[in-house]
Amino acid sequence: NAGVTQTPKFRILKIGQSMTLQCTQDMNHNYMYWYRQDPGMGLKLIYYSVGAGITDKGEVPNGYNVSRSTTEDFPLRLELAAPSQTSVYFCASSTLPSDEQYFGPGTRLTVT
């Protein structure tokens, strides 16, 4: 049982480039989330999804886009990368929004 998987583990982007961070879960969870964690800071919610086809903004959605075409996958798209998007990105999933969330291992992104 893989749980939540994320790819890639690391990525360096140049300013203005775009990329997609992949997230897949095999627990049949309806709820999925994207967080970012800046150095010395907590987890900030970027976007979340309550099921296939339904997404909503979190605290810090600017500069990001998401889609949820299947229960398993919840990719995060960065358009026009900026240095302020240098962070570690975590994907998570849960059965219910108030339940324990299961996290992926993270993607460390550097934008230079």
We find the least distance from the C-beta atom of residue 16 to another protein, in angstroms, to be 28
Distances (CA, A) of 43 to 17, 34, 36, 38, 64: 24, 9, 6, 8, 16
The contact mask relative to another protein for 25-64 (x = CB under 8 A, - = no) is: --------x------xxxx-x--x----------------
Among 55, 90, 93, 109, binds another protein (CB under 8 A): 90
Q: Which of residues 93-112 bind another protein (CB under 8 A)?
A: 96-98, 100-106
Residues 6+ apart with CB under 8 A from 9: 105, 106, 107, 108
Distances (CA, A) of 75 to 33, 71, 101: 10, 11, 17
We find the least distance from the C-beta atom of residue 73 to another protein, in angstroms, to be 17
Q: Any alpha helices (H) in the chain, and if so which ranges?
A: none
Q: What's the token pair of residue 37?
A: 């964690």
* 78 lies in the binding site for another protein (CB under 8 A): no
Query: Which residue number, 98 or 112, has a Cβ lying nearer to another protein?
Result: 98
Cβ(94)–Cβ(29) under 8 Å?
yes
Where do contacts with another protein occur on this chain (CB under 8 A)? 4, 33, 40-43, 45, 48, 90, 92, 96-98, 100-106
